[in-house]
Structure 1
């Protein structure tokens, strides 16, 4: 049985080797550690391109490959049997590539043993907290995490074979195509298979999300009240980028306690579907007690699954900016927050370096609507004064310019331009 599975998976890996590869921004970081004795751990959402990324990273090493998304392998009791079959198939190979390792019971002890035996190991997994917690226990200081999320806008353009020089962005033909691609990216997101194969987004993302909820949450955590996680998912898909409080949401969705709601939200975060963002305060206690905002890992999920009649482009753009901040290395509730001034004016994102607030970002899809420009400018100027930060940006659909408010200079930048320059 094991032999047949491994033969099939070896053929699948050979197919991956031959697939056209869109180079990811994380490749330089990963290549730097390729020959080190650290366990390389590639983590990210399902279908974000982890397998293709790792296959091409390890391609020249011809690694022994196992995908643990196979139920018969997960049931395996004797892991030595697996190593024996890998030797029989690949010969004496010290390079191991294991996909979806979190599905294997007791995997951390198994990997620790292989690591001590001198294997060069590359793992993938789609459960962030589970992997980091277990690796921190069993491989302290001996692993390097590499996070792969759906395509950034730059990677999306690369996948579409759209190449241009910086100075060409102002040309009508180039800018027109950029805006066309940006609208597609804003609505349908950046899951690689969807982008590369031009698949119909709604059906693909609908199936992917249902699989994620069932496999990575309901099944893994043996949830008895599965409808609660589905209710929570639907709520967040329709109320992303909006403030909520745990207590009110627990009452609204009929959870039996705030603790249960927080636990279910954690499951959604661990499965790389949702990120919960805290309001910034110098005081840790205020941060914990303040309302939160939730963002989705990819805009495509929102468009495919939300029940609103038409998408809110302003909220979609805000979600997109949030995911780009993740892709360039910002960490929610560490150096990325949202903010409310003493007068209740909201700033979408504040970025910190060390203990200092370095950038304030506001997202406004349209600034030509009545009162929008004035509102966003005043919020930034007020926050700038309170947080002692003068780097103020408003990201828009396609408006560029500058304004001055209360002596503060505020830059307006088209979001697509910011995305092309990011990273």
Structure 2
């Protein structure tokens, strides 16, 4: 079955003709090319756009190698735009048109001059994709001073995965928490195929890309850092804590600064994403530690040889990814609680898994997995009850339950309902 990826297609459609370069970013093999060259092109043709008005250049295709030279690319595009009709220029994997010197910052990328030239043409709408956030979402936004518009594409969400999964929701969940949402895995028929693909994709594509792009002389420490982060999803950490692990386990002399730099490389390649801590009552960010989540849980599991498939932490990672896919900024909430115990004052910090913000919307969300006892219910709700504003507070559980509010307004719902219904936060 074809996966429609409606969230991202609608974001592209909403940006048509806005005078900006649409910058489609995301991890390798997450579906950017399919979105642009299949789904978006189909939309254009269904709305009367002729083939001659769609100019596609897949720069990772050897047949288009000559156009990795920005001068030749500019010449080709100029020759293809022959009249005053509306044209759509689709450039895939544009990092191939940027030299090593340009990537290092020794020279300004000539590609940006090509894109600037296209922006000056009123009858041209430009869409580019790439697999490195620093080069695209940072540099393009700076270069074009507000005329770059980023659309971030992620691996398949659970609801997208279920469009193609031939089975019921619980079995689909069991598959998804192990193999994740990289689109190609959906078409594979055996666990062995999926395992080999994900392991190879992580090692041969993501890690080798990072090593080559950042000119790393040794990759062992990067490998070990990935293992540490994969083993600690949902746990608070920072470069100093990670260094302590390296010192005690790997007997490595890696520095805190190097660890921080490597984490940045992993974020730029869309392998991991950080969630900062936010003091809810103080309304300020707490610098360290932070949490790191993997963009795709299947890749994370593959990295660990599918040996640490902890349902609790994996569900938390999946909820985080869903919120980010829906466009929310997501922080880890901190609520300070003060009280008296046997006549002595105490102060402790309670954690809210996610504080999700989008414009004027805010949700406080706990990913609880299971609530087997009243004590566990009280534990999960304690931090939510410490927030005294009027925004919605939600507890997500893995069990199938009817959405229900308690007498303090806290909503408990199944993670299935949350993930499969785009309007679930409005329950």
How many Å separate the matches in 2 of 1:151 and 1:35? 27
- Specify the alignment match of 2:318 in structure 1: 320
- Specify the alignment match of 2:185 in structure 1: 194
- Specify the alignment match of 1:294 in structure 2: 292
Do 1:187 and 1:303's aligned partners in 2 also have CA atoms closer than 8 Å? yes
| Unmatched runs of 5 consecutive residues or more in structure 2 | 99-108, 247-251, 338-347
SS of the residue aligned with 2:410? strand
RMSD: 3.0
Change (3 A) 1:92 1:420: same
What TM-score does the superposition give when structure 2 sets the normalisation length?
0.79
Do 2:68 and 2:97's aligned partners in 1 also have CA atoms closer than 8 Å? no
Do 1:241 and 1:315's aligned partners in 2 also have CA atoms closer than 8 Å? yes
> What aligned pairs does 1:118-267 form with structure 2 within 5 A after superposition?
118=122, 119-160=124-165, 177-198=168-189, 200-253=193-246, 254=252, 256-267=254-265
How many Å separate the matches in 2 of 1:216 and 1:339? 36
SS of the residue aligned with 2:28? coil
How many Å separate the matches in 1 of 2:391 and 2:5? 35
Q: Which has the higher mean CA deviation after the structures are superposed, 75-84 or 385-394? A: 75-84
Change (3 A) 1:98 1:403: closer
Change (3 A) 1:132 1:78: closer
SS of the residue aligned with 2:156? coil
- The alignment status of 1:96 with 2:89, answered yes or no, reads yes
SS of the residue aligned with 1:52? helix
| Unmatched runs of 5 consecutive residues or more in structure 1 | 1-18, 163-176
SS of the residue aligned with 2:279? coil
Change (3 A) 1:218 1:310: closer
- Specify the alignment match of 1:172 in structure 2: none
SS of the residue aligned with 1:337? strand
Q: 1:317 Cα deviation (Å)?
A: 0.6
Change (3 A) 1:341 1:75: farther
What TM-score does the superposition give when structure 1 sets the normalisation length?
0.80
Change (3 A) 1:131 1:344: same
SS of the residue aligned with 2:278? coil
How many Å separate the matches in 2 of 1:147 and 1:382? 31
How many Å separate the matches in 2 of 1:388 and 1:285? 16
- Specify the alignment match of 2:249 in structure 1: none
Q: 1:185 Cα deviation (Å)?
A: 1.7
How many Å separate the matches in 2 of 1:77 and 1:304? 33
- Specify the alignment match of 1:363 in structure 2: 367
Which digits, 9 at most, give the CA deviation of each residue in 1:348-388, with x for residues without a partner? Answer: 112245688x32211122222xx5x5235334234432453
Do 2:28 and 2:206's aligned partners in 1 also have CA atoms closer than 8 Å? no
How many Å separate the matches in 2 of 1:70 and 1:221? 23
Which digits, 9 at most, give the CA deviation of each residue in 1:41-61, with x for residues without a partner? Answer: 111111111101101313425
- Specify the alignment match of 1:421 in structure 2: 421
Match of 1:115 among 100, 112, 119: 119
Do 1:40 and 1:122's aligned partners in 2 also have CA atoms closer than 8 Å? yes
How many Å separate the matches in 2 of 1:78 and 1:201? 36
How many Å separate the matches in 1 of 2:69 and 2:206? 30
Q: 1:409 Cα deviation (Å)?
A: 3.9
> What aligned pairs does 1:319-358 form with structure 2 within 5 A after superposition?
319-332=317-330, 336-339=331-334, 341-342=336-337, 343-352=348-357, 358=362
How many Å separate the matches in 2 of 1:240 and 1:270? 18
- Higher fraction of strand: 2
- Specify the alignment match of 1:377 in structure 2: 378
How many Å separate the matches in 1 of 2:278 and 2:175? 32
- Specify the alignment match of 1:33 in structure 2: 15
Q: 1:239 Cα deviation (Å)?
A: 1.2
Q: Which has the higher mean CA deviation after the structures are superposed, 70-79 or 347-356? A: 70-79
How many Å separate the matches in 2 of 1:260 and 1:73? 37
Change (3 A) 1:391 1:315: same
Change (3 A) 1:403 1:139: closer
Q: 1:201 Cα deviation (Å)?
A: 1.8
How many Å separate the matches in 1 of 2:238 and 2:75? 53
